[in-house]
């Protein structure tokens, strides 16, 4: 079967709808191949780190509930199935920082820890409980840095490395095991709150130094630390994720180092990467399940943009294409957007103005929801062939037997094609529709199902029979 979902099929009849008569014979078009199975799908999500969830909490009660429904609801909202939490490292708690659960040095790496817990965690505890009430039960917690006293540069910002790693010598000693126990203790605090942390990450963009919380790991050091954290996390019943490299292809070196070390590989449950320095357009060289654990378009030039298709990188259709490529070209099992909500000139799904008790929703939220509402955890990506130029198509089969086909028409012309999906329901997202049911998109002509695709749109087809999976 053909791997790419954007191939030219000479036998497909595609008709521009504007001013064109209906085709006498419906086109054969797209063919869903249910025998061709690709990666399992773990889900879709976004981050609530750096106190962004507290912005939602700051809204008045009515506005807060509206925003939560838009960000979390399974049927009417973004419908995430994974939330990414930030594990704090800061000794102070200004906005945009994450507070450490051990802000002061307990007296060295072998001293008795003096952990503290406020039950709030920058709003993340409250938000995860709201998510649980709406059926979301997978939480991935990731650390941007260790606390300052565990690092060779004496601060949790501006890179630096964990004391005790190969090539890193500190007068305070070897903090590797203490850092591993620190991370697991974070998960234990959440367990006290009734929330299970499923995956635990010890690094964020280890190949990138920033002025906010950050810490460097070489690929060899990441493999080394997996062997320290792995047994401690496993004993606590928590899976381990690594390595959140700054770019998808930059992740290769980390994947290769871990795959070359059988002990490190044994303790890796999920391999994670970001999409900034390079996009996710091919599989990574690892046998582990892979996640796109962070990406968002830059809002520096665009500012806050609600448009579906204005030619900007922050457009909704641009996010839809990025999700498609991540799943269909890179075989990722998850897509985690950077932020669900934020303030100012943000590329988050929602902009919160808590000072004025208001919010705005971007079309990015509906692009995200077109995948997350219908492609559920434990789905599998299946084959689909016959996509003509200009269409990006991927297909999925849920555990309950329903089938989902996502079609992005990247052209400026309406397109008519067929598909071997029986009586699908169509939902359309474009410049005038936000993931709305569109019965006129699908028609039945003889043995064929015909679909009419609007220009520059995302059409989500849902068919099959629940309960026959």
Rounded Cα distance, 10 and 272, in Å: 38
- Using a pLDDT cut of 70, give the percent of the chain over it: 92
By CB neighbour count within 10 A (0-12 exposed, 13-18 middle, 19+ buried), where does 457 fall? buried
User: Are 344 and 418 in a shared domain?
Assistant: no
User: Are 130 and 199 in a shared domain?
Assistant: yes
**What is the separation, in whole angstroms, between the first and last Cα of the chain?**
23
In a domain, 404, yes or no: yes
Q: Does 214 have pLDDT greater than 60?
A: yes
Q: Which of 380, 399, 417 is the last residue of a domain?
A: 380
User: Are 307 and 425 in a shared domain?
Assistant: no
Longest Cα separation, the chain: 81
Residue 86, pLDDT score: 98
Residue 468 pLDDT level (bands cut at 50, 70, 90): very low
User: Are 349 and 389 in a shared domain?
Assistant: no
Residues 6+ apart with CB under 8 A from 445: 26
In a domain, 322, yes or no: yes
| Domain extent at residue 401 | 31-39+381-464
User: Are 195 and 260 in a shared domain?
Assistant: yes
User: Are 60 and 178 in a shared domain?
Assistant: yes
SS3 percent helix, strand, coil of the chain, rounded to 5, is 25, 25, 50
Number of domains in the chain: 2
In a domain, 325, yes or no: yes
Rounded Cα distance, 469 and 463, in Å: 12
In a domain, 96, yes or no: yes
Residues 6+ apart with CB under 8 A from 225: 162, 165, 176, 180, 202, 203, 217
For residue range 277-291, list pLDDT tens digits in order. 999 999 999 999 999
3-state secondary structure of 459: strand
Q: Does 203 have pLDDT greater than 80?
A: yes
Residue 362, pLDDT score: 98
Q: Helices 176-192 and 219-235: crossing angle, nearest 10°?
A: 40
What is the average pLDDT across 353-370? 98
Q: Please give the C-alpha separations between residue 316 and each of 301, 313, 322, in angstroms, as whole numbers.
A: 16, 9, 10
For residue range 65-116, list pLDDT tens digits in order. 999 999 999 999 999 999 999 999 999 988 889 999 999 999 999 999 999 9
3-state secondary structure of 363: helix
Rounded Cα distance, 298 and 243, in Å: 22
Rounded Cα distance, 207 and 209, in Å: 7
Q: Please give the C-alpha separations between residue 2 and each of 38, 322, 395, in angstroms, as whole numbers.
A: 12, 20, 13
Residue 93, pLDDT score: 85
CATH code for the domain of 102: 3.20.20.80
**Local structure of residue 21 (DSSP, 8 states):** P
Q: Does 5 have pLDDT greater than 50?
A: no
User: Are 321 and 175 in a shared domain?
Assistant: yes
**353 neighbors 369 (Cβ within 8 angstroms):** no
Q: Which of 343, 361, 380 is the last residue of a domain?
A: 380
User: Are 340 and 411 in a shared domain?
Assistant: no
User: Are 74 and 220 in a shared domain?
Assistant: yes
Rounded Cα distance, 125 and 369, in Å: 23
For residue range 147-201, list pLDDT tens digits in order. 999 999 999 999 999 999 999 999 999 999 999 999 999 999 999 999 999 999 9
User: Are 269 and 407 in a shared domain?
Assistant: no
In a domain, 446, yes or no: yes
Overall residue count recorded for the chain in this entry: 469
**273 neighbors 248 (Cβ within 8 angstroms):** yes
Q: Does 206 have pLDDT greater than 70?
A: yes
Residue 423, pLDDT score: 87
For residue range 261-310, list pLDDT tens digits in order. 999 999 999 999 999 999 999 999 999 999 999 999 999 989 999 999 99
Residue 60 pLDDT level (bands cut at 50, 70, 90): very high
In a domain, 104, yes or no: yes
User: Are 222 and 188 in a shared domain?
Assistant: yes
Residue 447, pLDDT score: 66
3-state secondary structure of 37: strand
For residue range 388-400, list pLDDT tens digits in order. 899 999 999 999 9
User: Are 398 and 441 in a shared domain?
Assistant: yes
| Phi, psi of 142, rounded to the nearest 5 degrees | -135, 140
In a domain, 149, yes or no: yes
3-state secondary structure of 259: helix
For residue range 399-420, list pLDDT tens digits in order. 999 999 999 999 999 999 999 9
Helix boundaries (H) for 350-458: 363-372
Q: In 10 A of CB 435, how many CB atoms?
A: 21
Q: Which of 349, 380, 411 is the last residue of a domain?
A: 380
What is the average pLDDT across 126-141? 97
By CB neighbour count within 10 A (0-12 exposed, 13-18 middle, 19+ buried), where does 212 fall? middle
Residue 20 pLDDT level (bands cut at 50, 70, 90): very low
In a domain, 242, yes or no: yes
CATH code for the domain of 399: 2.60.40.1180
Query: Which pTM value belongs to this model?
Result: 0.93
Mean pLDDT of the chain: 93
Residue 21 pLDDT level (bands cut at 50, 70, 90): very low
**222 neighbors 242 (Cβ within 8 angstroms):** yes
Q: Which residues pair with 271 in a beta bridge?
A: 242, 290
Tokens of 334: 């998850």
């Amino acid at each position: 079967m053909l791997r790419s979902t954007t191939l030219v099929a000479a036998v497909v009849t595609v008709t521009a709808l504007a001013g064109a008569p209906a085709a006498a014979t419906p086109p054969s078009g797209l063919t869903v191949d249910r025998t061709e199975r690709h990666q399992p799908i773990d889900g879709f999500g976004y981050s609530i780190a750096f106190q962004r969830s507290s912005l939602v909490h700051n809204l008045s009660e009515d506005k807060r509930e509206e925003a939560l429904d838009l960000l979390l609801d399974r049927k009417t909202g973004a419908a995430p199935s994974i939330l990414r939490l930030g594990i704090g490292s800061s000794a102070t708690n200004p906005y945009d920082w994450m507070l450490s659960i051990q802000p002061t040095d307990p007296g060295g790496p072998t001293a008795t820890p003096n952990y503290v817990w406020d039950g709030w965690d920058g709003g993340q505890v409250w938000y995860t409980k709201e998510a649980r009430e709406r059926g979301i039960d997978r939480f991935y917690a990731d650390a941007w840095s260790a606390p300052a006293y565990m690092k060779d540069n004496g601060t949790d910002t501006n890179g630096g490395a964990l004391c005790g790693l190969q090539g890193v010598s500190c007068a305070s000693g070897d903090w590797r095991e203490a850092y591993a126990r620190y991370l697991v203790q974070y998960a234990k605090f959440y367990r006290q709150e009734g929330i299970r942390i499923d995956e635990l990450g010890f690094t964020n963009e280890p190949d990138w130094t920033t002025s906010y919380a950050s810490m460097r790991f070489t690929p060899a050091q990441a493999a080394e630390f997996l062997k320290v954290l792995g047994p401690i996390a496993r004993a606590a019943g928590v899976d381990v994720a690594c390595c959140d490299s700054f770019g998808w292809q930059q992740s290769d070196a980390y994947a290769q180092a871990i795959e070359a070390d059988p002990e490190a590989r044994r303790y890796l449950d999920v391999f994670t990467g970001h999409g900034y320095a390079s996009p996710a357009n091919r599989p990574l060289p690892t046998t582990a399940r892979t996640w796109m654990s962070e990406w968002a378009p830059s809002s520096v030039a665009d500012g806050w943009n609600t448009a579906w298709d204005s030619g900007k990188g922050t457009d909704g259709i641009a996010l839809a294409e990025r999700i498609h490529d991540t799943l269909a070209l890179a075989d990722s099992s998850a897509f985690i957007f950077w932020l669900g909500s934020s303030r100012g000139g943000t590329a988050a799904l929602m902009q919160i103005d808590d000072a004025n008790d208001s919010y705005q929703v971007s079309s990015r939220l509906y692009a995200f929801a077109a995948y997350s509402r219908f492609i559920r955890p434990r789905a599998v990506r299946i084959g689909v062939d016959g996509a003509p130029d200009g269409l990006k198509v991927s297909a999925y089969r849920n555990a309950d037997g329903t089938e989902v086909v996502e079609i992005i028409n990247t052209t400026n012309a309406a397109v008519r094609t067929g598909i071997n999906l029986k009586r699908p329901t169509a939902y359309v997202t474009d410049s005038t529709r936000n993931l709305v049911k569109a019965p006129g998109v699908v028609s039945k002509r003889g043995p064929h199902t015909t679909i009419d695709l609007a220009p520059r749109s995302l059409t989500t087809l849902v068919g099959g029979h629940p309960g026959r999976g």
